[in-house]
Amino acid sequence: MGRPRTVVITGASSGVGLAAARAFAEAGDRLVLAARSRPALDAVAAQCRAAGAPVRVVTADVTRPETLDEVAAAAVAEFGGVDVWVHTAAVMVYGRFEDVPAGIFDRVVHTDLLGAAAVARVALARFRAQRGGVLILAGSLLGSIVAPYMSAYVASKWGLKGLVRSLRQETRDAPGIHVCLVAPGAVNTPIYRNAANFAGRVGRPPPPVDPPEKVARAILRCARRPRAMLTVGAADLVTRVAFTALPGLYDLLVGPLMRAGGLSREPVAPTPGNVLAPLPASTHTVHGSWGRQRLPRPAGAVAALGAVALTGALTGALTGAVVRRLGGRGRRR
């Protein structure tokens, strides 16, 4: 193990951010933890200190960029700089686009996309000053595909993926600076139950569901050996292929799959969730209430039908391409 690093984590109070804080603490690093809820941060800090990590806590809101300057200043004052900045803060809203209040939609985009941009602005300024550093932004499978009832989150994660690509291009003149995207699929965190909701049913991660510790390990690997993009999730590749290669079939199946696997049967009244303000500290846990799940029977039937159709379509497309290629060669002779 090398020298201890100084790691800033924005969004450290729950879910993947909390799991990452624990992982870096166990690796012997120094931590600056930031989020909106001070009580939740203090609880995370106690866990990390118990693992032997020096910890500084800063209350910050990514929709208020001046608070991020305070986070960077605290890291410099306490530990002399920032080696790694991990950004996991995000909020979510469920509901048809027409049913989601404009203020809630805008705040999700502000938090998840513009907040990430604000973090990147502060982190890159610090990295330029010290000629190096690793910025890790938490993306999502929903930055590469689309699902209904989550339009604000999808728009934000697609924008984030483009932002990361641009930042990587713009920092090619600084070989010591690395900008990375860690993009998980469904993860068992509290974000689904804490989300704003105008869909009438509590959201849930569609199976298969990974534990947040798996994503935290990916973030730790990325901090040690930076990569442009690191995906986490067993089903992600198949989903991306279906979305790209067979958009018509994907759009046909994604609605029923989302209603069966992405929305629970538990009713919920319209709520802003934690979009506008943090919820009580008791909701700031590393795990959600979902665990590892299999698709329910209706969704399993749809998924099986989709898999058969997808396999057949891909096979047919591949066979057709080979036949056309061989036919073209024969005519040239």
Residues marked active site are found at 153
Residues 6+ apart with CB under 8 A from 153: 90, 92, 93, 108, 112, 140, 142
CA 133 from centre of chain: 21
Residues 222, 227, 228, 229, Cα dihedral to 10°: -60
Tell me how far apart the alpha carbons of residues 99 and 116 are, in angstroms, rounded to a whole number.
26
182 contacts 136 by C-beta, under 8 angstroms: yes
Task: Find the DSSP H helices in 265-296.
Answer: none
Q: What is the SS3 assignment for 27?
A: coil
b or e along 115-136 (b: 16 or more beta carbons within 10 Å of the residue's beta carbon)? bbbbbbebbbebbeeeeebbbb
Tell me how far apart the alpha carbons of residues 248 and 262 are, in angstroms, rounded to a whole number.
20
299 contacts 261 by C-beta, under 8 angstroms: yes
- Give, in order, the Cα–Cα distances in Å from 2 to each of 27, 223, 233: 10, 13, 29
H-helix or E-strand spanning residue 196: strand 196-197
Tell me how far apart the alpha carbons of residues 283 and 52 are, in angstroms, rounded to a whole number.
25
